[in-house]
Amino acid sequence: MFVTTKPTTKAQRLSPAHEEIVKATLPVVGENIEIIANTFYNMMFSAQPELLRNTFNRGNQKSGEQQKALAASVATFATMLVDPNAPDPVELLNRIAHKHVSLGITEDQYPIVHDHLLAAVAEVLGEAVTPEVAEAWSAVYWIMAGILIDHEKILYASDGVEPGDVFREAKVIEKNELTERVTEYVLEGDFTEPQPGQYTSVGVKLPDGARQLRQYSIIGGDSAQYRIAVETDGEVSNHLREAVDVGDTIEATLAAGELVLQDSDRPAVLISSGIGSTPMVGMLAHLAQNKTSREVLYLHADDSAESWAQEGHIRALAGQLDNCELVSAVRSNGELLDVSAHNLGGADVYICGGTNFLQAIRSNIDSLEPAAQPASVKFELFSPNDWLIN
């Protein structure tokens, strides 16, 4: 599921009365937004525990990452509505929309979130939440929800499916251990053609009966097969490694994700850390298959030579390209990636890795002289750290 258009944000406005209320209450809401987010999830999962068991990522809930993501999303969007100088959170909303369609989220689920979120605001802020304040923040939510709903319908339509109809039966036809921590799977099913860099949501039923979903980048495939590489770091990846074998059937969704290799003549710079190499492998495979004439630079950092799970695959793909430079850094050897040592001027840059890695690379790029700045920078995150989008 993919379209080149982005969610429409700037055309959406609050009424003058609601804008004044949101502007006046934004500081206190902002100060308490993480408490509000925690309260919201506690309320919603108490009322509908099946959402935590079957849809939401229990690992992100336990770590608090999902709560932070919601807090950042709402606060950032509300700020845009009342401050004309605030950055447009279009990339944040695009990322959320893609994650939603990869989970099969539909319009009828938005009122559930609205009711529990507004109840959480009222509980945390108490008497400060007058009927007028509640109405104004309800308007913020529904503007944001409306933008997401509209864009998600467009994404579903791009693959010719009804909203929510993205889950497919997937048969495991290959399972290969790449390293002690990374396993590669080939899934066979009635899929749609993935864009280079996209992911699929894999669903498994765990021993306690919960159905949990996780997103894994598609490192190669077509409408009949998706190949993924999974690092063992949580309950779903452990279950896949220990309990799922060749011949077994699991769930997988149609491909989604906004980190997609652009069709361009500009140089392509791929930057990754650890298992963040997976979307880059998908991009390299596409470039090799299409015998691109583009300049390609791949920069990768890993903890050790042994932990670079996809080194062989990456080197093989790079070897198929006429103009590809591959640079690696091994942290155990004290090596670091230095973006400024390479020519990024006018290039399309794609980054995937952990939070600290991503922030360091973004800071490195931002410090480049204007003439050395890339034409575009796109990135994917390991966890829902949506506050990094802007």
Residue 260 lies in a domain: no
CATH number for 282: 3.40.50.80
Residue among 285, 273, 102 at smallest CA distance from 199: 102
Tell me: do 280 and 380 sit in the same domain.
yes
Enumerate the active-site residues.
110, 152
The answer to whether the beta carbons of residues 283 and 197 sit under 8 Å apart is: yes
Neighbour-count burial of 375, counting CB atoms closer than 10 A to its CB (0-12 exposed, 13-18 middle, 19+ buried)? middle
- pLDDT digits over 225-254, tens only? 999 999 998 899 999 999 999 999 999 999
Q: Contact, 52 vs 211, CB < 8 A?
A: no
Q: What is the pLDDT of residue 119?
A: 95
Range(s) of the domain holding residue 214: 167-253
Classify residue 207 by its DSSP letter. Answer: T
Specify the number of domains making up the chain.
Answer: 3
* Token pair belonging to 165: 């109809």
Please indicate, yes or no, whether residues 188 and 274 belong to a single structural domain of this protein.
no
**Parallel, antiparallel or unpaired: strands 225-231 and 182-188:** antiparallel
| Amino acid (one-letter) located at 389 | I
Shared-domain flag, residues 21 and 119? yes
pTM, to two decimals: 0.92
pLDDT recorded at residue 337: 87
The verdict on 237 and 115 lying in the same domain is no
Domain match, 39 and 91 both: yes
* Statement to judge: residues 202 and 277 lie in one domain: no
CATH label of the domain that carries residue 121 = 1.10.490.10
List the one residue out of 94, 274, 239, 251 whose CA is nearest residue 170: 251
CATH of the domain at 183: 2.40.30.10
C-alpha–C-alpha distance, residues 352 and 274, integer Å: 9
C-alpha 362/C-alpha 357 separation (Å) is: 9
Whether 351 maps to a domain, the answer reads: yes
272: three-class secondary structure by DSSP: strand
Q: Is residue 312 part of a domain?
A: yes
Could you say which of 125, 158, 191 is where a domain stops? 158
Q: How far is Cα 33 from Cα 177, in angstroms, rounded to an integer? A: 42
SS3 269: strand
Residues 292 and 210 both lie in one domain: no
**Final residue belonging to a domain, choices 134, 158, 182:** 158
Predicted confidence at residue 315, as pLDDT, reads 93
Residues in the chain, pLDDT under 50: 385-390
Are 66 and 129 found together in one domain?
yes
Q: What's the pLDDT score for residue 390?
A: 41
Q: Would 263 be classed as within a structural domain?
A: no
Looking at residue 385, what is its pLDDT? 47
Q: Is residue 3 a part of any domain in this protein? A: no
Q: With respect to residue 206, please indicate whether it lies within any of the assigned structural domains.
A: yes
288: its two tokens: 């090799």
CA separation for the pair 291, 167 (Å, rounded): 32
Question: Is 261 among the domain residues?
Answer: no
**326 shares a domain with 285:** yes
Same domain, 88 and 128: yes
Based on the fold, state whether residues 123 and 51 are members of the same structural domain.
yes
The verdict on 217 and 281 lying in the same domain is no
Is 357 in a helix, a strand, or coil?
A: helix
